[in-house]
Amino acid sequence: MSEVDAETIELPAAPAERPRRRGATASPRLVLAIVSVGICLANLDLFIVNVGLPNIAQEFRAASLEDLSWILNGYAIAYAALLVFFGRLAERHSRNLSFLLGVALFTAASAACALARNVEFLVIARIAQAAGAALMTPTSIGLLLASFPAEQRAGAVRTWTAIGGLAAALGPLVGGLLVTFDWRWIFIVNVPIGIVAIVIGWLKLPEVPGHDVPRPNPWAALLVTCGIGALTFAIVKANDWGWGSRGIVIGFAVAVVCLAAFIRHCFSSKNPFVDPALFAVRPFTGASLVMAPYSAAFGAMLFSVALWDQTVWGWSALQTGLAIAPGPLLVPVTSLLFAGRLIARFGAAAVVAAGIFSFATGVVIWATLMGAESNVPAVVVGMMLIGVGVGLTFPTLMGVGAGSLPPSSFATGSGVINMIRQAALAIGVAIAVAILATPVTMTDRIAAFQRGWWIMAAITIAALVPNYLFIRRKTGH
């Protein structure tokens, strides 16, 4: 197998059945518009909630930084565990109804988040949001593939991805504006959008029937959820309880046992939750191994910069959103305008390496230039370099991972890489909490942030190793 480039990325074949239509029919472009709502809701929510965390902390004064981190981690862990599970489960049922169910669950959970009166209830509602997002994402792809002619599917998926990137880019700014009124608006805004999508989708989406495929194993989903959750919990609580304390040792032990049992299931089951054969493909393995440290650094970075701007410099949520926005805005620009051309000229591994260096450089700028006095250029320049890095790295890794697989495994492979990404995000946030939660004085707090950014840069650079070993080297069939 040759090194993956922009031209080797394939989409899965269309379903054998043509989509059946109910009543008024939707054009392919309208289908794209409807399903794009799902990716917009999920991506907006990630960046909006990060910006809103300090305001949530002000209302729930009894909540610690560790407690607040679960508003992010509960979502990431549930999304990671349920994405593959719901994706495979939805293959058995009507894609349009599964998508609408996901939107409805996300919308209802958003309303519940807005009504939360304590952190515990908010975390539970966020987990429900993650379940809705995990159902929306794979079913939206299925609807796109069934609605567009074969020659237009690649463009439709790229447009869907770009719309999601644009939503993520607008997240910090929208979050900053909404938090100016009340942090609850960051969840309320999802409700009317979701309701409109449900009504139009019910009337217009084509009926795409399911297929007779094996049911995914729910116990495997539970094992990976408990394993990642226990690992994240142990990292978050380690400084508070002590690394050698009984609770932390038990947490790590539960994580090891659950994840080992999950791996054993995958290798021994006739219907594995994650097919080990996927990892026999070197580029897919490389993309997965690069995605893990890269996403951990990304999760820690996003959590830390919103916290720094508002708690160290005392910026408002709107100021924070404006400072962060240039980074996410550069992600779709870099991805759509430059990544494909660079891959075609230099190869995927070189583009990933450039993205890693750009991301790490942005974080290093923060570690060296940001101190007690506000420094807007340092935040913006660092964020822009990070945005360029993400725009080069993330879509390239998705292309390398999924494009190296046969078309029949495209959806499953994409789901596995996204599962790894979300789990790593949760672990990254946990690492950031472990570094930032203990300092009391402002001097110690600044030193902790700077130390954390150096650690994030080191974790990012570590991703160069699997990039060189698995993606750079050419393999043959």
Residue 226: partners with Cβ closer than 8 Å, 6 or more residues away: 254, 258
Dihedral sign for Cα atoms in the order 122, 125, 130, 133: negative
Residue 316, pLDDT > 80, answer yes
Which has more pLDDT, 45 or 235?
A: 235
pLDDT for res 154:
58
Total residues belonging to the chain: 477
What pLDDT, on a 0 to 100 scale, did the predictor assign at position 477? 39
Cα 204 to Cα 25, 48, 86, 97, 211: the distances in Å are 5, 30, 23, 12, 22
Structure tokens, 81: 């565990």
Of 175, 156, 146, 151, which Cα lies nearest the Cα of 20? 146
CA distances from 464 to 314, 393, 453 (A): 36, 11, 18
Amino acid identity for residue 294 in this structure: Y
20 pairs with which residues across the strands? 207
Task: Quote the pLDDT of residue 411.
Answer: 61
The answer to whether residues 359 and 302 touch, using CB atoms and an 8 Å cutoff, is no
Could you tell me the CA-to-CA distances from 40 to 103, 130, 169 in Å, in that order? Answer: 11, 14, 10
More confident residue, 62 or 18: 62
> Angle at which helices 28-59 and 119-147 pack, to 10 degrees?
170
Tell me the C-alpha distance between 285 and 301, whole Å.
25
Q: Which two tokens stand for residue 308?
A: 């720094």
Euclidean distance between CA atoms 291 and 312, whole angstroms: 30
Q: How many CB atoms lie within 10 A of CB 309?
A: 24
What's the pLDDT band for 377 if we cut at 50, 70, 90?
Answer: very high
The reply to whether domains 22-215 and 279-477 share a CATH topology is yes
Q: pLDDT-derived band of residue 259, with 50, 70 and 90 as boundaries?
A: very high
CATH 1.20.1250.20 fits domain 22-215: yes
Q: Residue 409 has what pLDDT?
A: 67
Distance CA 185, CA 179 (A): 7
- List all residues 6 or more positions away from 286 whose beta carbon is below 8 Å from its beta carbon: 400, 466, 467, 469, 470, 471
Domain boundaries, the chain: 22-215, 217-272, 279-477
- Where does the pLDDT of residue 196 fall: very low under 50, low under 70, confident under 90, or very high at 90 and above? very high
Q: How far apart are CA 377 and CA 400, in angstroms?
A: 34
Q: Name beta bridge partners: 207.
A: 20
Please tell me which residue, 158 or 347, carries the higher pLDDT value.
347
pLDDT at 4 over 70: no
CA-nearest of 29, 411, 24, 12 to 206 is 24
What is the C-alpha separation between 336 and 332, in angstroms, rounded? 6
The two three-digit tokens of residue 250, written as one number? 């038990």
Residue with tokens 């006739």: 270
Residues 6+ apart with CB under 8 A from 85: 134, 216, 218, 220, 221, 273
Q: Mean pLDDT throughout 440-465?
A: 93
Under CATH, domain 279-477 is a member of which superfamily? MFS general substrate transporter like domains (1.20.1250.20)
pTM more than 0.85: no
Per-residue pLDDT for 14 more than 50? no
Query: 472 near 3, Cβ under 8 Å?
Result: yes
Average pLDDT on 317-338 reads 86
Amino acid identity of 432? A
The CB-side HSE value for 262 (13 A sphere, CA atoms) comes to 20
Residue whose entry in the numeric block shows the structure tokens 């999802």: 190
End-to-end Cα spacing for the chain = 5
The beta strands (E) that lie in 181-336 are given as: none
Closest-CA residue to 265 (of 215, 213, 214, 219): 219
Q: What is the per-residue pLDDT for 144?
A: 77
Rounded Cα–Cα distance for residues 186 and 38 (Å): 16
Q: Work out the percent of the chain whose per-residue pLDDT is above 70.
A: 87
Q: What is the mean pLDDT of residues 368-395?
A: 93
Confidence tier at 211 by pLDDT (50, 70, 90): low
